[in-house]
């Protein structure tokens, strides 16, 4: 996922996929508090009770409940200066960029956002 806070309208769709690899600007969504302040699209992203707009973090938590795995590029984490304790608990791993290539080669389909 390369979309992040600067492209909120693209941030909800990826969370319907079985695994997400965060890179570039998308890595910023992994810092605690960031995704909680972003609303992907109004008014189409309402909560279950229909009373409040869902945040990107709400979509991330829904995806985790559905079995989606979240991985981040270690180089992107390092470039942003993030420490492990600053990251959301839903993150499954911080791996080298080469991990994305290996997973992509094994996958039937790869979709990028």
Structural domain containing residue 101: 8-106
Asked whether residue 2 is domain-assigned, the answer is no
Q: Is 70 exceeded by the pLDDT of residue 68?
A: yes
- Residue 45 binned pLDDT confidence (cut-offs 50, 70, 90): low
Distance between CA 112 and CA 7 in Å, rounded?
Answer: 14
In a domain, 88, yes or no: yes
CB-hemisphere CA count at 13 Å for 76? 25
The total number of structural domains in the chain stands at 1
Place 18 in a pLDDT band, splitting at 50, 70 and 90: low
**What is the overall mean pLDDT for the chain?**
83
Would you say residue 3 lies in a domain?
Answer: no
pLDDT per residue as tens digits for the range 70-111: 999 999 999 999 999 999 999 999 999 888 888 778 877 777
In a domain, 24, yes or no: yes
Residue 40 lies in a domain: yes
Q: What is the pLDDT of residue 27?
A: 93
Q: With a threshold of 0.95, does the pTM exceed it?
A: no
Structural domain includes residue 30: yes
Question: How many whole angstroms separate alpha carbon 91 and alpha carbon 109?
Answer: 22
111 found inside a domain: no
Residue 54 · residue 45 · CB < 8 Å: yes
CATH code, domain with 68: 3.40.1260.10
Structure tokens at 98: 């080469």
In a domain, 113, yes or no: no
**pLDDT for the residue numbered 109:** 74
């Amino acid at each position: 996922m390369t979309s992040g806070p600067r492209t909120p309208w693209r941030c909800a769709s990826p969370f319907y996929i079985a695994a997400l690899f965060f890179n570039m600007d998308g890595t910023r969504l992994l810092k605690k508090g960031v995704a909680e302040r972003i609303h992907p699209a109004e008014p189409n992203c309402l909560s279950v009770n229909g009373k409040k707009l869902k945040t990107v973090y709400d979509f991330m938590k829904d995806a985790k409940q559905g079995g989606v795995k979240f991985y981040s590029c270690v180089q992107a984490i390092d470039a942003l200066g993030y420490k492990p304790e600053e990251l959301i608990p839903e993150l499954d791993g911080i791996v080298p960029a080469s991990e994305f290539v290996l997973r992509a080669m094994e996958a039937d389909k790869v979709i990028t956002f």
